A and B are shown apart, each in its own frame.
Chain A
Amino acid sequence: MTDKDTKSKQTSQKDDTDVVMGEKEETEQEKIARQKKERSSIYFSKDAQLIQRAVHQQDDRLMNRALRQAFAQRSKLTKSILTQLSDTLLSHESHKESQAKLKEYLSKSASSDQMETDSQPEQSTPTPSTTTPQQPKQVLPEVEAFLHLLTVLFLIDSKQYQVAQQAANDLVESLQSQNRRTLNLIGAKALFYYARTYELLGNASAIRSNLLNALRTSSLRHDHYGQNVLVNLLLRNYLQDNLVDQASKLINKTPTVDFRSNSQLARFYYYKGRIKSIQLDYSDAYNCLMTAIRKAPTNSAKGFRVAAYKLAIIVQLLMGEIPEHNVFSQPQLRSALKPYLELTKQVRVGELLKFKDTVDKYADVYKADKTFTLIQRIRQNVIRTGLKKISTSYSRISFSDISQKLHFDNPDDVELIVAKAIRDGIIDAIIDHQGKFIQSRETVDVYSTTEPSDAFHKRINLCLKTHDEAVRAMRFPPDANKQKAQIQEAEERRKRQEELAEELEREDDDDDAEEEF
């Protein structure tokens, strides 16, 4: 997530510099910039229209689409666009208050926006898109909230965190006072950015109880979107303060949440995986992380995937397995996963010294990734891998040799470590206490055991599960073919009514004119 944010921030900055240059050069450039701005302003107002339609048809998918489109364009947001949008959309009297609020935030965010200087006079001369003198219409609260949300986004992107926090506070407050089903999606997004502003300002723990309250409210209102987001936000919040126990209890006690969006589900699994890994439940943790990776989008959200992969690799190592090499060779992730590749190599070889070196070398990276504590647990595994190697190469070897090979400080420990390894089934050998050596047993052909079929079973299970999930995830609207026709008809009727209204108006005008005459 963080990556995405920073990336968009970069682009927005780039945009701004472009415009600054244009300003310096010539009016032609300026015109192009203005046109660009108009275009994106139209773009956002189209989204607002889409939201209105979504509300009328009570269709979550339309709402989702509107939000997705708007968010994809967030880099294009500028102050003047927002002012213009709030001028056109919130011109009705009933929105005066919220309009004033939005303007207040924007004015507080002063200096950062270079556009400002030339955008102010522009407001006075009506731009082509606003020339049509329209009666101010009352818009839905959804649209109002949408604009508010865009403002918050813009403020975050332009690093005005204090103002953004204030705006987000107001937004969440106003949203929670309204109980509208159609607000759920916007509300969920708003909550996300609300928590984000607090996190950016470093006082995330302050809103924990607010989030808990919001979770309660949303579950009472059967607001699934809100519940999804809030559960994730809370988990994130707990984990930031290393309150793993609280987080795991929350997961256990929250009534099963029906996840509506894959991205939230992926996040949820990621957090769950993290909690489980800390609680030593590696195989569960690994399953959760793999699901999270599978559910995450394949092309975007690089940051999320990197984080998930890192953790997955560590967990896999902790389970005594070696991740496959192609995990590290994914082009997008290669550089980010390099420290982990090194680590894996050492674990694979079972060289305790080199392992130590690697850990020391990349300690800062691991600490930043919050995987350092887990990595320290891997040491055991490195020893075991070393043992395994030794036991396959030597049919009989003394403890002192082992100690030497694995660079143990205290050769007396070797006997205990070996005994544990035998008990765990890592190596198949017998300890000769008198002779102080271990005797390996004949290696059996793996293919004569049940191991291959177990492995197959595991893979087949995974495939079947994936298939099931895919089938379940596919949703067919009850009567898609009919609905299409109905929508068409509704559209036609709407058009007809509009025409009629227009005609009437014209007639009215004519009449008035006649009367005056």
Chain B
Amino acid sequence: MTSNSVQTAAGILSLLEEQDNDLKAAALTRLNGPIVDEFWAETADSIRRIEELYEDESFPQRKLAALIASRVYYHLNAFDESLQFALGAGDLFDVNKKNDEYTDKIVSKCIDTYITQRRAGEKNIDNRLLDIVERMFDRCFADGEYKQALGIAIESHRLDKIKESITKSNKPDELLEYTFDAAMNVIDVREFRQEVLRTLVGVYQQSSNPNHLAITQCHTFLDDSSKVAETLIKLLSSGDDDHVYVAYQVGFDLHDRAPQSFLTNIRSELSKTSKKNADPSEQDAAHEDKLDKLLSILTGQVSIQLYVDFLFRHNHTDLQVLKNIKGSFERNSILHSATITANAYMHAGTTIDQFLRENLEWLGKATNWAKFSATASLGVIHKGQIKESLNILKPYLPSDAQPTNANARNAPGAGSVYSEGGALYALGIIHSNHGDNMTDYLVNIVKKDSANPVVLHGACFGLGLCAMATGDRSLYERLKEILYLDNAVSGEAAGVAMGLVMMGSGNTAALEEMDAYAHETQHEKIIRGLSMGLALTMYGREEEANPLIDKLVADKDPILRYGAMYMIGLAYCGTSNNFAIRKLLQIAVSDVSDDVRRAAVINLGFLLFKSPKQCPRLVSLLAESYNPHVRYGVAMAIGISCAGTALRVALDVLDPLTKDGVDFVRQGALIAISMVLMQANESQEPKVSEYRKHYETVWNARGEEVMCKVGAILAQGVMDAGGRNVTICLHKSGHNKMRNIIGLALFTQYWFWYPYLHFLSMAFEPTAIIGLNKNLQMPKYHFTSQAKPSLFAYPPPMKPAQEKKTVKIGPAAELSLTAKAKAREQKKKRQEGGSAMDVEPSTPTPVEEKKEVDKKKKKEKEPDSEEKENPARVTPSQIKYLKFDKNERYTPIKFKDGQVELGFFLLKDNQPGQPETIVDFKNTKEEDLPEPEAPESFTWP
């Protein structure tokens, strides 16, 4: 070891001061190697001299000087300088040296610098830097580290290298998927993302067995409907059954993700092809049939029908809860309205309006806007009943015979404007996102000059929901006319509806008009509606929204700044974009308006919903803010970002907020907790029952503030939403779900206007896994969930009222069975083969039997897995336990590598020709039940 002989490098360093080049070179050569590493502190004193040598063009060993300078700077922790000199050292700096800290550090520094320069869009990047990066790429390729190369390529925005690393690798499929995933979730520049997707499509199409699912996904993001249609037609006409399956699956995915305008385009492209073949040969007929099926998928008929069936079939609403709530207050219109809304949540999409039927008289207490809201809640309950919608709502809808003018309204027996408006709103909810035929109906109503603002309010909401994201220009003009009436009530709804129609389009003309009118009008309500409309229009546009955001953030009107917050949240939703987060955080602590600050914090939730664990950490400090509006925002942000996750970190932040001193903060916390704990049961998160009890005490307590009671009642509704079969789901494996996000964003507007509460139903997503055969029917099929049934079971129903709180004894009174017994019974029923799952909580069971069951239960060990019958309820956290048997008659086509998603999947029939057993639709219209008494018996003063 040199260190034993040499105690100092002073001698060598003094040689550097010599005149003779040879001496200096000799000194450098001696320094290089272990000496410089050991005596770097000494050498650092002569660093100037070494730098001079490097800069001296005539000095032959300047590269060596650079290398030594680089090493010294490296020891001094000055990595930027070190990198510069390493670059100067040229080929003396050996990139391929392995297990050397210096090389590793400099190379990583090099790549970092390269990435930041590329991202900053710098044109003239140092060639030497580029050279090292290229060498690194080559090294990665040589070592077979394609994923690493791909990562660097994506980070540094190098399309050519992305392509190269995918094509060169031995597992291109895996890398393609990885890139696609990265493109959707990691790349934060929209433009570059689209370029990557375009490249990916190119690569996909080159492969022998192209992944059509992925290709169409790429096209969807590139907003290229004709390409998608082309692919679909190709798949359908290929004659291969497998391809037809894929086409159907693509159809389902498209319907799930793409905006309405995109779907309409595809549909029109597809139907064009069908008309070409006027001559109906047999083959064509088969083709037509497939095309029809695909079209029906794209219109959403199939999925909506199946979802309605699923929700009805599996409904597990606990009516006892509602009864208890109802009995907890006497005369309080706010709580009354909240209860009706909670009922709507609980039965969202199930078509079960039993509670309303049983309490018609009580329901009739709703007046004015409460009536509007109550009527609209019917829409939530019957969401998806596209065919029956007009029938269901007929009693409330404005009839053509009776023009809705002031005189007629006063006539006895006629509908009030409030129920009429509510019904139109309900119509919108039922047809949300699928409003083809309903738009005309609504437009007709809007056309009537004499229409009441309240009716117009409902109609605008209805129109907005039906024509969501269609970008329909004429409809937009119609809504604008209503806006220009400058009526506060109708104007607000019109503003929002304009945004809904233009959602995600970033349409400049529309944005300008809305912005201009927002500055013109005097009505705060209209400004608020428009500012939300602006935010909706900019949905998902990312950087494109920046100029407008900057403009609105600087506006002196707090309502417009409020809209700007939502614009940030929605334009960047799910991206966790740092710029957006910083902006929101800054405003959350600096704006003068409470509303703006609250909105800023709430929108953090929208930015971070893809990484739910981060949000609680980010906002936990704000949760201790002195400003209650900020604290409320924190609750909502966590509710949004962690919805349905049952995350412990989220609850830890929310828990202290439920004991907050300010009533509306408690309200927010209660609602947020219910959002987080959706579908969670006690074995997943032991605190669930605690919170359920807490809700009960809040709404029961006499001294409690009304605000908190409202929160508790709504929270109860959210917790058990959709018959305990839905969750709030804002993205599906990384793909944003526009409808759900918008629904949640509008829901948070309930702060100003209770009817917005119903928008939450947009965000509900049935947690179903439904398998379909090639005829789009549900065959009998089952798969296993390799987890204990109790882990994902329904929470136990509430015990009937304690003490005097007893309300009417309804059929739900027999709910005293223990959860286990109930679960067992259900299982028994299932095993018996009957798909008949009772809608009513259960049939009365003799006490002895119950005891026996209990006794048995104690001995019996819980099985480690359970069989799931098609259509199955599978909660998001359960997905990872699912297993699909290969020996079954059917093979699911989508989940090749165990990647399962909620929703629909197609089953390939392994024994075609054999008769299939099809699961019947549960009839949602129960014939045996008496036809509902006409709800005209609404009594209003």
Contacts and interface: CB of A to CB of B under 8 A. Distances in A.
B859 to A, nearest CB: 10
A243 B8 contact: yes
B105 interface: yes
Interface in A190-209: 205-206, 208-209
Interface residues of A, number: 25
Given A220-B101, A241-B7, A249 B41 contact: yes
A216 B100 CA distance: 12
A428 B113 CA distance: 65
26 contacts: A205-B3, A205-B4, A206-B1, A206-B3, A208-B3, A209-B2, A209-B3, A209-B37, A209-B38, A212-B37, A213-B37, A216-B37, A216-B75, A216-B101, A219-B77, A241-B7, A243-B8, A246-B42, A249-B42, A249-B45, A253-B41, A253-B44, A255-B76, A496-B686, A507-B861, A511-B861
Contacts of A255: 76-77
Nearest to A208: B3
Q: Which 7 A-B pairs have the closest CB atoms?
A: A249-B41, A253-B41, A255-B77, A250-B41, A209-B38, A209-B3, A253-B44
Contact of B41 (A205, A217, A220, A246): A246
Contacts of B39: 246
A253 B74 CA distance: 12
A482 B616 CA distance: 14
Given A208-B3, A209-B1, A220-B101, A249 B75 contact: no
Interface centre among B41, B42, B652, by most chain A C-beta atoms within 10 angstroms, is B41
Interface in A312-348: none
A502 interface: no
Contacts of A206: 1, 3-4
A56 to B, nearest CB: 16
Interface string B633-660: 0000000000000000000100000000
**What secondary structure prevails in chain A residues at the interface with B?**
helix
A250 B40 CA distance: 9
A246 B7 CA distance: 9
B646 to A, nearest CB: 14
B144 interface: no
A245 interface: yes
B34 interface: yes
A450 interface: no
A253 B43 CA distance: 10
B267 to A, nearest CB: 52
A216 B1 CA distance: 19
A206 B5 CA distance: 10
A486 interface: yes
Nearest to B104: A220
- Size class of the contact patch on chain B: 20 to 34
A246 B42 CA distance: 7
Nearest to B35: A209
A252 interface: yes
Contact of B8 (A246, A252, A507): A246
A508 to B, nearest CB: 9
Interface of B: 1-4, 7-8, 34, 37-42, 44-45, 75-77, 101, 105, 652, 686, 861
Given A216-B75, A253-B44, A245 B1 contact: no
Contacts of B1: 206, 209
Contacts of A249: 41-42, 44-45
Interface in A467-499: 482, 486, 496
Contacts of B77: 219, 255
Contacts of A217: 101
A253 B105 contact: no
B681 to A, nearest CB: 16
A255 B101 CA distance: 18
A496 B686 CA distance: 11
A208 B105 contact: no
Given A209-B3, A220-B101, A486-B652, A245 B8 contact: yes
A430 to B, nearest CB: 45
A253 B101 contact: no
A318 B2 CA distance: 38
Contact of B40 (A220, A253, A486, A511): A253
A255 B105 CA distance: 17
A211 to B, nearest CB: 10
A213 B75 CA distance: 10
Interface centre among B2, B3, B686, by most chain A C-beta atoms within 10 angstroms, is B3
A219 B686 CA distance: 44
Interface in A201-240: 205-206, 208-209, 212-213, 216-217, 219-220
B861 A253 contact: no
Contacts of A482: 652
Contacts of A213: 37
Given A206-B3, A482-B652, 8 more contacts: A205-B3, A209-B2, A216-B37, A216-B101, A243-B8, A249-B41, A253-B41, A511-B861
A115 B295 CA distance: 87
A208 B76 contact: no
A216 B82 CA distance: 14
A245 B7 CA distance: 11
Nearest to B8: A246
A252 B41 contact: yes
Contacts of A252: 41
Interface centre among A249, A255, A482, by most chain B C-beta atoms within 10 angstroms, is A249
A241 B686 CA distance: 65
A227 B745 CA distance: 50
B799 to A, nearest CB: 24
A212 to B, nearest CB: 6
B843 to A, nearest CB: 32
Interface string A243-266: 101100110111100000000000
Contacts of B652: 482, 486
A254 B75 CA distance: 8
Contacts of B3: 205-206, 208-209
Nearest to B620: A479
Contacts of A254: 41
A191 to B, nearest CB: 17
Contacts of A245: 8, 42
B791 to A, nearest CB: 12
A78 B577 CA distance: 58
